[in-house]
Structure 1
Amino acid sequence: MDFGKELSAHETTISGLMLFDIPVHGDNRGWFKENWQREKMVAIGLPDFEPVQNNISFNRSVGTTRGIHAEPWDKFISVATGRVFGAWVDLREGDGFGRVFTAEIDPSRAIFVPRGVGNAFQTLEADTAYSYLVNDHWTPEAEYTFLNLADETVAVPWPISLDSAELSQKDRDHPRLDTVRPITSR
């Protein structure tokens, strides 16, 4: 983890997907960070997406892999403890469809994922707690889109082979890009 970063926002290769450096302050006791502060985040370019829920995914093993899921809401993702390799795929209709961005996320980084961008991660440390704010509540009637983690077209460069990774059967069975129905614009 990188201590001493300034709060800053970085554009990515996917429209609306923004990577953030988060200041983390540490000493002999451990560390502290202000993970989400609306006024500061909006001031540096994060859309004021009005989160309504906070979710945490605890992942016991290195190589736990989840995704690729695109939901009809925005997410602000961070890691409370541990480290992940994140992969995002634009699954919205339009010119960016199928575009990929990857980055490592630890407690000193966060990412804003706009509606319709597929989200996936693979844990690089045991006991990783992956946290995300969302601006809508889950419902079975919502428009969801999924993509296979091993899709050859997007070719995510997973650091741990999917053959060796912990995956759910549901994630293994997601469709390939050529059969994915893009998420429509609002």
Structure 2
Amino acid sequence: MRVHETSIDGVLRIELELQPNPDGWFKENFHRGKLAELGMDVVQHNVAHFEEAGIVRGIHAEPWDKYLSPTSGRVFAAIVELRPVPAFGRVEAFELGTADALYVPRGVGNSFCTLAPHTTYNFLVNEHWSPERVAVDLFDPELAIAWPDLPLKYTERDAANPALAALRA
């Protein structure tokens, strides 16, 4: 596993070793000791599967750290600094495939768009789920996220998220 810092403090882009074999590939997606070195003690593993490209979720900042990685397909991930720091509102985007992962600390917003049909996305978290979260409009012009040029599908709940400016108030 190779870890790279990003422009958002604490967000790490992780390259996982994908080992091809005659049947496909193998990867070590989770290693407790390696994640503990990053400061994460996993308590829950969630898996989401999406049948179509263009499914968008987010922007959500939850009260837990997240380790995100696709096991099939590809995703475009947009990460937004939502903690009360000078870099508030900074966006960084990534394209993630099966050999990639992101570590996103609590309070940082994350969102994604499936780039391929039959995408499966893993979320490891260090706190059990709760409804508490901060959310921001996926299409807020201030964030200027360059979403993929696909027909996008998102939930009514995400479409109703407030603008970034509302979080400053």
Instruction: Name the TM-score class by shorter chain.
Output: over 0.9
| CA–CA distance in structure 2, aligned partners of residues 157 and 167 of structure 1 | 16
Q: 2:3 matched to 1:16?
A: no
Q: 2:29 matched to 1:35?
A: yes
Give 1:81's match in structure 2, choosing from 67, 72, 96.
Answer: 72
| CA–CA distance in structure 1, aligned partners of residues 93 and 63 of structure 2 | 21
* 1:168 partner letter: T
Change (3 A) 1:139 1:94: same
Give the TM-score of the pair, scaled to structure 2.
Answer: 0.95
Give 2:149's match in structure 1, choosing from 133, 144, 160.
Answer: 160
Query: 2:143 aligns to what SS in structure 1?
Result: coil
Contact 2:35 2:41 (C-alpha < 8 Å) held by counterparts: no
Deviation >2 Å, runs of 4+: 38-42
Give the TM-score of the pair, scaled to structure 1.
Answer: 0.87
Aligned-residue CA RMSD in angstroms?
1.4
Q: Which runs of 5+ in 1 are unaligned?
A: 1-6
Query: 1:16 aligns to what SS in structure 2?
Result: coil
Following superposition, the deviation at residue 69 of structure 1 comes to 0.4
Following superposition, the deviation at residue 41 of structure 1 comes to 4.5
Give the equivalent residue in structure 2 for 1:150. 139
Give the equivalent residue in structure 2 for 1:177. 164
| CA–CA distance in structure 2, aligned partners of residues 103 and 40 of structure 1 | 22
Following superposition, the deviation at residue 47 of structure 1 comes to 2.0
Q: Kindly provide the CA deviation profile for residues 138-169 of structure 1, in whole angstroms up to 9, marking residues without a partner as x.
A: 223x3x100000010011111135xx211111
* 2:142 partner letter: T
Q: Which runs of 5+ in 2 are unaligned?
A: none
Query: 2:157 aligns to what SS in structure 1?
Result: helix
